[in-house]
Structure 1
Amino acid sequence: MFPLNTRGAQASESPLTTVVAAGSAALPTLLKLAAVMEKGGQDLRSVEQLPVEIALGPEFVFRPIFACPVSRDMSTPDNPPLALPCGHVLAEQSVAKLLKNRSRAFKCPYCPMECRQESLRPVTFPGID
C-alpha cells in the first residue's frame, strides 16, 4: 500500500496521506466496535482508549529515528543519541565536540544547564534491533 523509504524509517507518502490510509484501514473495525458498544448502551466517543487493538499491517510500522538537532545527522550504532540531564538529546559525536575536556562541564546548546559526561544517559528505542 505505502512502501517504506530506503532507510525503512519513514513513509514514502506525506504524513496526511499516511494518516488517511491508516484511518481507512481501521475504519471497518471501528464501525463494528461502535455497533457492538451501542448495543451494550455505550458510546465509542465516551472512552479514552479503545478496548481493542487494531492491527494496521506492516506498511504502517515505522522504526523510530533520531536526528541530532546540532549536527542534523541521523543516529547510528556508532553515533547513538545521549540524553543530557536537562532532557535535551544530542548525538554522541556532537557531545564529543562540546566536551573539550572530560573533567570539565559543558553547556547544553539549548538551555543554560551545565552538563558533565558522567551525567549523560543513552537513549534507546524499544523494539529496535
Structure 2
Amino acid sequence: MAQNSSQRRASDLVAAWLAQNEKNPAWLVDQTGADPGTIGDFLNGVRWPKTGTQGKIEKALGWQPGTIRQIGNGADFDPPMVNLRKDSPTSSAGRTEEADSLLYRRPDGISDSEWDKLKSETRDYLEWLIEKASRER
C-alpha cells in the first residue's frame, strides 16, 4: 500500500539525511541489515516499513527511537540532520548557502557531460519536490 503524505514526509526526511551525509540506500541497507527492496520501497514511497525496520533505520541515522513512526503519524517536527562531514561550513545560525547545497557522489564510469546532466536533472527534480511540499503545507 502506498504511503500517505505523512509517511511520505518521513521517507523524504530519511532520503534528505542520506543526501546530506553523502550516503546512499546501499549504505542504509548495510547499516540496518534490512532487505534492499524494503529500503528502496520505503524511500520511493511504495510501502511503509515494519516497526523493527523503522528502529534499525533510526539507529543507523542516529535518530531517537520512534521518530519515523511519529512523523509518519503526522508529527510536525524535523529529526536531526546530523552532518557527518567534519569540513562542512556553517554560520552562526548553523546554515550557509553551501551547507544547503546538495552533495553528490559520482559513480565510476560516467563522463563529465553525463555527470553534469544527471546533477542538473536531480537538482530540478528536488526543487520540484520542495515546491510541491511547500504548496501542500
Same fold, judged at TM 0.5 (above): no
**What is the TM-score of this pair, normalised by structure 2?**
0.23
**What is the TM-score of this pair, normalised by structure 1?**
0.24
Structure richer in helix, relative to its length: 2
| Bigger relative contact order (CA 8 A; separation at least 6) | 2
- Point out the structure with max Rg over C-alpha: 1
